[in-house]
Amino acid sequence: MKKPLTMHEETQPRNITRANMLMTEGFGLEVDGRMKRSFPTRAAAQKSAFDLKTKYPLLQVKVYDPEKKTWTLVEADKVAVPIKE
């Protein structure tokens, strides 16, 4: 005979990282409106963004600069387009 499943009275705490908070240092890689990774330099972020855009051209890929609080759209033809918001 199977024992019925019982729920633990105390649930385990979850490790949640807040995705809605913007970065304060480094450079972020945003894919289709979601922050995915952070990089220490702009060159590393742009290289990763360009590689991703080349491999998957339908994605919208941006590099976020927290110091200037601007996003730069990465195109497949290696032209970076600053976005004014």
In a domain, 54, yes or no: yes
- Residue 53 structural domain: 36-83
Do 49 and 29 touch, CB atoms closer than 8 A? yes
Q: What mean pLDDT do residues 3-31 have? A: 69
Measured from the Cβ of residue 46, the count of other Cβ atoms closer than 10 Å reads: 19
Nearest to 59 by CA among 74, 45, 79, 44: 74
**What's the total number of domains in the chain?**
1
Within a domain: residue 10? no
Confirm whether 24 is domain-assigned: no
Secondary structure element (H or E) that encloses residue 45, with its range: helix 42-55
**Residue 6 within any structural domain of the chain:** no
Tens-digit pLDDT profile for residues 33-80: 899 989 999 999 999 999 999 999 999 999 999 889 899 999 887 555
Position 12 scores a pLDDT of 60
- Return d(Cα 57, Cα 68) in angstroms, integer: 27
Residue 8 lies in a domain: no
pTM above 0.75, yes or no: no
pLDDT of residue 83: 66
Percent of the chain with pLDDT over 90: 41
